[in-house]
Structure 1
Amino acid sequence: MSRSIYIGITLDIEYQSTYAREPWYALRENYCTAIQNAGGTPVCLPHDVDQIDAYLDLVDGLVISGGMYDIKPELYGETDIKGGLVTKEGRTEFERRLVLGALQRDLPMIGICGGMQLIAVAHGAKLIQDIPTGVKAPLEHMQPEPHDVASHSVSFTPGTCISRLFGAGRVEVNSVHHQSVKDIPPEILVSAVSADRVIEAIEIPGQSFCLGFQWHPEYQINEGEGRVFRALIEAAADYAERAAMGCQSAVI
């Protein structure tokens, strides 16, 4: 396929007047660079729920980005609040609907940090709301800056898609989160865990390409993280080709 492969990236939103008095969108540049280096064209997606179908028609794949916020516990069936939660309900609702639409279309997708958690919750998983109080003898999962260095290792589940992309049993990763997924339903496969048994990566075998990472592979700390984004672009190119063939068949 000769045309560009478009990868939608969800934006964070901030309400503090450090950049502007009004709410402003934010995205680290390395999300876009990781996609560009893998051969894709990044497309940033504002939080407009009325445009979700248009976005999904436009893009060939998705990256659900991370951010310093938490998913509202009611979305995974809990009402008790453990630890300090910061929610961005408008962003979460937009991303939740976007993820559901992408899953219905079998659109290739990567969820990063909070994005992985949202994909898991969309499949019925729950969250550990606060790792320091909810995990026995936890590692330090909220590392200080810089984030382009590793802070702990993860071990891969043999035979998973993610383990094949990294080509190793263990790898060092960065870590910037205080929550993690739990109570995984059968349709989610755990692909990596840390030494304290926190789930660090997942995949959805029922989808053609749907991976989740609790760490931030867009920092490209190791070669496997580059292969993750190249695999996304390859899957998105396949999706675009199938979509084009479907359109041609419909015309015929």
Structure 2
Amino acid sequence: MGFQTLPGAGREKGEGDRPWWLVALVAIGLGIAAVIAVNDLYAQVFTTVSRGIGVTVFVTVVGFVLATLLGLLVALAGMSDSQIVRQIARFYVEVIRGIPILVLLFYIAFVGAPGFVSLYNFLIGPLVEGGWLSALQVRDVSLMWRAIFALMIGYSAFIAEIFRAGFQSIDRGQVEAAMSLGLNRYQRFRLIVFPQAIRVIFPPLSNDFVAMVKDSSLVSVLGVADISQAGKIYASGSFRFFETYSIVAYIYLILTIGLSMLLRRVEKRMRQKGAAR
């Protein structure tokens, strides 16, 4: 008696399911869009809150790019030949991962920024006295950039672990084979390790990008005029909390779900190209 092949065997569970969840979300989204179009109150709330989209996108993109660069440096330091450098990188990762983003935001904004200004003024003191430069004031460091640096530092520790896991997933034999061919360390990383590791790194990295879109709402506590801050100001003045925060959630869902679907398509294409090789 032979074995029967079960339907869907050989593929992951749920892979062939129709995206009914997406159909439901699109239907709800279109319904809310229709309400915004015909209801003056919701239209006014949407117009007001949507002014913060540009700030949210700017903070997220700049913060994530800087966090990725810093995370890559920390990951490379964590794989250094020097034990001291490795221990410093591990210390940085463990400390930063243990601090909530909101606490880090307050610390960078109200402790780090004044400390930076004091250090800067101390270093350029002779130039200030000579009239070449003017002293920097704490208010000269914008709250938006304080928030961006806080997000950069907070996410860099998690991104460093993503890079480390991706680089260490490459078989050691390939690296040794590249060494036997005379490739230096930079060439091995650029030609052998990174092209293969990026397929492992990209999915969790894209998840962190979507997470930063949501965590960027925390910058509103500093008064940065993002989506959340625009909604908070409108709601406190009109007392229309239900309508305002429904629109705020609606805009964040459009951004995060749209971005997740786009990154999923990119990830799928990367897998297909990797399988074709």
The TM-score by the shorter chain falls in which range? under 0.3
TM-score by length of 1: 0.26
Q: Which structure: greater helix fraction?
A: 2
Q: Which structure: greater strand fraction?
A: 1
Say which structure, 1 or 2, has more relative contact order (CA 8 Å, 6+ apart). 2
TM-score by length of 2: 0.24
